[in-house]
Amino acid sequence: MSAALKLSSLALGASARVKDFPRSGNTFVRLREMGLLPGTMVTFVRAAPLGDPLEFKLRGYHLTLRREEAEQITIEA
Amino acid sequence: MYALVGNPNCGKSTLFNALTGLKQKVGNYPGVTVEKKIGETYSQHGKAIKIIDLPGAYSLAARSPDEAVTRDVLLGRRADTPQPDRILCIVDATNLERNLYLVHQILDLGRPVILVVNMMDLATTSGIQVRVGRLEQELGIPVIACEAVNGKGIVDLKLAMSRVDLPLARHSWDVPAAVSSAVAELQASLTDNDGRSPLVARAEALLLLTDFDTVRVAGSTPLCKRTTDILAHWQKHWEAEGTDWAGTLVGSRYAAISVLCADIVQQAGVTGPSASDKIDAVVIHPFWGWMVLGGVMTLLFLSIFTFAEIPMNWIDSHVASLATWVKVAMSPGDLRDLLTDGVISGVGGVLVFLPQILILFFFIGLLENTGYMARAAFIMDRLMSRVGLNGKSFIPLLSSYACAIPGIMATRTIEDPKDRLVTILVAPLMSCSARLPVYLLMIAALLPGDAVPVLTKVGIMLLMYVLGTVGAFGFAWLFKRTLLKGAPPMMIMELPPYRLPRLRDVALQMFERAGLFLKRAGTIILGISIVLWFLTTYPKHPNPAATSTEQIAQSFAGRAGHLLEPVIKPLGFDWRVGIGLITSFAAREVFVSSMGVIFGVEGSENETAPLRDALRNATWPTGVALFTPLVCLTLMVYYVFAMQCVSTVAVVKRETNGWKWPLFQIAYMTGTAWLVCFVIYQTGRALGY
């Protein structure tokens, strides 16, 4: 698990496929409903000027989420 | 009746306005502060069709009161709103997949659905092609391509809506095996015990299984115990098994959607950065982003404090001439005084602020509809989360610098009820523009000499603003730590592409909100003005030739001031200031005119000089000066913190559905004001000021 790449570590402008999601938590169910699912292609657009939250592009739209949430989502290398 | 549903930011309001024109009625769902919008449009044959505009939702598994209302109305759970017979789903062509998630859930309900694919023009610009005809074939329901902003497709839509026979969707979706037995059980219980029709029962069963924490709002009929027991049983079962029950359903829906979209959506290769992307490169730039934000804020305040001046002065003079006319036209007496000093000055007091309020609502509407509001929340989120708030609290708090009432009304965009409540509780601490006349008067009295150097004036005012801001954030932090402790808010937010809104829609929104403001604040201020007029006029001085100063001294208000004096004396205030504090309940700036009356200075609103001098000469019975620099400062600080404006209290009551929080707000704010002023005054005295 420690070797798994996290969504928060994605480089600026880089894309990756989502691998795994925490099972529980309001936030993560909502994220999934918004289209961020295992297997979804995600691009890291930018971080906010103060470093948090992060902006991603997926399924044709832009989504923001906090760094601490992105840290719990793993991506495929 | 048609229900109009869709994701936020997909042009739903524009479509609603295009269909209904001005034939809209805006109200509230009883028990919830969510807007209820019902409008009427006309079919091909001229028959009236009712449409209810439901709050934007990403999913029927509600995460906010807004979404809860949408869900409840569609499921027929609300006694005050009949279940709509037909549903109008609006989706955004530029990101069809996510938009179709809600549609997928709605198709479960088994109602006739018309799908509107909006923003076709924006899709074309981004190189996205949507095969509308194919979609219609696949789903089996009417699919209309639309550009609501330009009015394209509206005619076709009305044609489809007029159809007597609307086909039901070809929607067969296999529930994943892991949850299918749970669905069956829940469906059975819902049909038998909660009285749902089988289709709705299945839809609701599926919803319950994606709804981690069912958001319930007032007015929604609860489920019976058997159903909740079954749900709890299965949830425990899956928890033990380690099955991701919620995620399974969501994944299954998206799998079906992806298959559908593969067939109907064609992206013309990889296009370069869109116009929105280019704008965002500046707007959310680590450096330029701040410049833009600062520019927007400056523009906001400039328009409120300068552009609004001309209409404000215009209204002021007309109200004054109306009062003069009445004075001339009527014979002297109490009724005339009631009209001029009570009603006209009261109504005038509200009307004078109308230009500012309108500008504020227009600005907020513009920020919302262009998409900048989301960027502002994105940028400020880190700072706001330091005190436990969400970036979405930024604009409401910022607006409160002009007037807390629109700011509090703007908190509706905040999904988390606790965050919303905290924002509402601290918003009045942001020094609103009504405090300015008080600050200006005190600064004039505080500083020696005739002319106050601009820099000093600005400096002291800035100090007051900073004090208010620090207070607001400080209390927000405190409340989120103690009273309203909750999980740190989610910051899952869509950054919609920049759109040029139709000015007509923004204007309509502005007038709607301003109308609500006038209804709420206006009636309260009018009522209080009359009451205050009464309190300052009666009982009448036995000597009819008494000065207004003597008159007010022995009126009810004067007696109240005397009663109040022991409480405010430790702050350096006497009974006359006490009267001013009481009259400020109508509106804070009434303090100035009250001081004018008490110290016998006429026309004190327009020139501070005579009043300032009167204040400087005022003394305690012992001969000690009343308005020493220390007292002036203390008074200003009192106005920073104290909760006075009754209109704000009324709006808070409305937005929190009860008296508990407004009363708490009055208590904590006024208590803080007293304490801080006590410390300032007593320390100042001890230091020899």
Consecutive H or E run containing B143: strand B143-145
Taking CA atoms, what residue in B is nearest to A48? B379
Cβ–Cβ below 8 Å for B63 and A30: yes
- The alpha-carbon radius of gyration of chain A (Å, integer) is 11
Nearest-angstrom CA–CA distance, B169 and B174: 15
Residue B267, helix vs strand vs coil: strand
Domain around B254: 177-267
Taking CA atoms, what residue in A is nearest to B281? A46
Quick one: CA torsion of A9, A10, A13, A19, rounded to 10 degrees?
-150
C-alpha angle B249-B200-B13 in degrees, rounded to nearest 5:
85
**Among B638, B485, B464, residue whose Cα is nearest residue B567:** B638
Nearest-angstrom CA–CA distance, B648 and B136: 50
B492 and A65 Cβ atoms separated by less than 8 Å: yes
Indicate whether B7 and B77 sit together in one domain.
yes
Q: With beta carbons under 8 A apart, name residues in chain A contacting B487.
A: 26
Indicate whether B68 and B130 sit together in one domain.
yes
Q: Which of B139, B162, B185 is the last residue of a domain?
A: B162
Q: How much is the average pLDDT of A25-33?
A: 82
Answer whether B101 touches A (CB < 8 Å). yes
In a domain, B376, yes or no: no
Q: Which of B238, B267, B296 is the last residue of a domain?
A: B267
In a domain, B668, yes or no: no
Share of chain B residues as helix, strand and coil, in percent rounded to the nearest 5: 65, 10, 30
Q: With beta carbons under 8 A apart, name residues in chain B contacting A59.
A: 95, 97-98
pLDDT tens-digit profile of B258-303? 998 988 888 876 667 778 888 888 888 888 889 998 888 888 877 7
Nearest-angstrom CA–CA distance, A46 and B378: 11
Report the gap between the CA of A72 and the closest CA in chain B (Å): 14
Q: What is the β-pairing status of strands B113-118 and B143-145?
A: parallel
Domain around A65: 5-75
Q: What is the pLDDT of residue B604?
A: 46
Joined tokens for residue B226: 């058997």
Answer whether B520 touches A (CB < 8 Å). no
User: Is residue B143's pLDDT more than 60?
Assistant: yes
Cβ–Cβ below 8 Å for A33 and B58: yes
Cβ–Cβ below 8 Å for A33 and B490: no
Q: With beta carbons under 8 A apart, name residues in chain A contacting B97.
A: 35, 59-60
Q: With beta carbons under 8 A apart, name residues in chain B contacting A27.
A: 490, 492
Cβ–Cβ below 8 Å for B494 and A50: no
Q: With beta carbons under 8 A apart, name residues in chain B contacting A34.
A: 58, 98, 492, 494
Tokens 């059975």 map to which residue?
B188
Whole-model pTM: value is 0.84
Nearest-angstrom CA–CA distance, B494 and A59: 12
Cβ–Cβ below 8 Å for A50 and B382: yes
Indicate whether B39 and B126 sit together in one domain.
yes
Joined tokens for residue B456: 């000093």
Answer whether A1 touches B (CB < 8 Å). no
Cα–Cα separations (whole angstroms), residue B227 to B182, B204, B518: 11, 11, 45
Answer whether A41 touches B (CB < 8 Å). no
Indicate whether B154 and B62 sit together in one domain.
yes
pLDDT tens-digit profile of B413-435? 787 888 889 999 999 999 888 88
Q: What is the pLDDT of residue B321?
A: 86
Q: Across-strand partners of B535? A: none
Indicate whether B220 and B76 sit together in one domain.
no
In a domain, B587, yes or no: no
Cβ–Cβ below 8 Å for B95 and A59: yes
Q: Across-strand partners of A56? A: A44, A63
Q: What is the β-pairing status of strands A15-20 and A41-47?
A: antiparallel
Tokens 């979609």 map to which residue?
B135
Q: What is the pLDDT of residue B638?
A: 94
Answer whether B128 touches A (CB < 8 Å). yes
**Among B598, B672, B597, B684, residue whose Cα is nearest residue B639:** B672
pLDDT tens-digit profile of B609-631? 677 788 888 888 888 888 888 89
Q: What is the tally of structural domains in chain A?
A: 1
Contacts of residue A70, Cβ cutoff 8 Å, sequence gap at least 6:
A6, A7, A8, A54
Joined tokens for residue B593: 């005119």
Q: With beta carbons under 8 A apart, name residues in chain B contacting A17.
A: none
Answer whether A4 touches B (CB < 8 Å). no
Cβ–Cβ below 8 Å for B379 and A50: yes
B44 and B65 Cβ atoms separated by less than 8 Å: no
State yes or no: cis peptide before A53, omega within 30 of 0.
Answer: yes
**Among B269, B260, B15, B7, residue whose Cα is nearest residue B131:** B260
User: Is residue B337's pLDDT more than 90?
Assistant: no
B378 and A53 Cβ atoms separated by less than 8 Å: yes
Chain B (224-243) residues lying within 8 Å, Cβ to Cβ, of chain A? 242
In a domain, B630, yes or no: no
Q: What is the pLDDT of residue B312?
A: 82
Taking CA atoms, what residue in A is nearest to B496? A62
pLDDT tens-digit profile of B95-133? 899 999 999 999 988 889 999 999 888 888 888 888 888
Joined tokens for residue B468: 């208010």
In a domain, B643, yes or no: no
Indicate whether B230 and B138 sit together in one domain.
no
Cβ–Cβ below 8 Å for B382 and A60: no
Q: What is the pLDDT of residue A2?
A: 47
Tokens 């029927």 map to which residue?
B60
Q: With beta carbons under 8 A apart, name residues in chain B contacting A53.
A: 378, 381-382, 391, 491
User: Is residue A1's pLDDT more than 50?
Assistant: no
The closest CB to that of A60, out of B61, B94, B289, belongs to B94
Cβ–Cβ below 8 Å for B98 and A59: yes
Answer whether B496 touches A (CB < 8 Å). yes
Taking CA atoms, what residue in A is nearest to B97? A59
Q: Which of B112, B133, B162 is the last residue of a domain?
A: B162
Q: With beta carbons under 8 A apart, name residues in chain A contacting B128.
A: 60
**Residue B249 main-chain phi, psi, to 5 deg:** -65, -45
Answer whether B249 touches A (CB < 8 Å). no
Tokens 């009055």 map to which residue?
B666
- CATH at A62: 2.30.30.90
Which amino acid is residue B48, in one-letter code? A
Using 50, 70 and 90 to split pLDDT, how confident is the model at B452? low
Q: How much is the average pLDDT of A40-48?
A: 92
Indicate whether B157 and B198 sit together in one domain.
no
Cβ–Cβ below 8 Å for A61 and B58: no
In a domain, B608, yes or no: no
Joined tokens for residue B445: 């009295």
Report the gap between the CA of B491 and the closest CA in chain A (Å): 5
In a domain, B15, yes or no: yes
Tell me the average pLDDT of chain B.
Answer: 84
Taking CA atoms, what residue in B is nearest to A49? B286
Nearest-angstrom CA–CA distance, B544 and B405: 41
Report the gap between the CA of B355 and the closest CA in chain A (Å): 34
Cβ–Cβ below 8 Å for B97 and A63: no
Answer whether B371 touches A (CB < 8 Å). no
Using 50, 70 and 90 to split pLDDT, how confident is the model at B212? low
In a domain, B130, yes or no: yes
B621 and B182 Cβ atoms separated by less than 8 Å: no
Q: What is the tally of structural domains in chain B?
A: 2
- CATH at B16: 3.40.50.300
**Looking at the predicted complex, does its ipTM rise above 0.95?**
no
Consecutive H or E run containing B116: strand B113-118
Query: Which of B215-229, B335-349, B421-435, B538-552 has the highest average model confidence (pLDDT)?
Result: B421-435
Q: How much is the average pLDDT of B478-501?
A: 82
B90 and B70 Cβ atoms separated by less than 8 Å: no
pLDDT tens-digit profile of B639-678? 999 998 888 888 898 888 888 999 999 999 999 999 999 9
Indicate whether B146 and B19 sit together in one domain.
yes
Cβ–Cβ below 8 Å for A48 and B285: no
User: Is residue B383's pLDDT more than 80?
Assistant: yes
Query: Which of B97-101, B175-179, B228-232, B538-542 has the highest average model confidence (pLDDT)?
Result: B97-101
Return the residue in B119, B270, B382 with the most chain A beta carbons within 10 A, the one to mutate for interface testing. B382
pLDDT tens-digit profile of B550-588? 777 778 888 888 888 899 989 889 888 888 888 888 778
B649 and B630 Cβ atoms separated by less than 8 Å: no
Cα–Cα separations (whole angstroms), residue B340 to B337, B345, B529, B590: 5, 6, 11, 15
Strands (E), B451-513: 493-495
Nearest-angstrom CA–CA distance, B478 and B482: 6
Listed range (B451-455, B520-524, B579-583, B616-620) with the worst mean pLDDT: B451-455
Taking CA atoms, what residue in B is nearest to A33? B250
Q: Higher confidence at residue B351 or residue A53?
A: A53
pLDDT tens-digit profile of B145-168? 988 888 888 888 888 888 888 888
Return the residue in A21, A62, A73 with the most chain B beta carbons within 10 A, the one to mutate for interface testing. A62
Indicate whether B122 and B234 sit together in one domain.
no
B99 and B135 Cβ atoms separated by less than 8 Å: no
Indicate whether B125 and B14 sit together in one domain.
yes
Q: With beta carbons under 8 A apart, name residues in chain B contacting A52.
A: 381-382, 385
Answer whether A35 touches B (CB < 8 Å). yes
Cβ–Cβ below 8 Å for A27 and B59: no
**Buried-state track B390-429, b at ≥16 Cβ within 10 A, e below 16:** bbbbbbbbbbbbbbbbbbbbbbbbbbbbbbbbbbbbbbbb
Nearest-angstrom CA–CA distance, B2 and B482: 44
What spatial distance separates the first Cα and last Cα of chain A, rounded to whole Å?
Answer: 13
A76 and A20 Cβ atoms separated by less than 8 Å: no
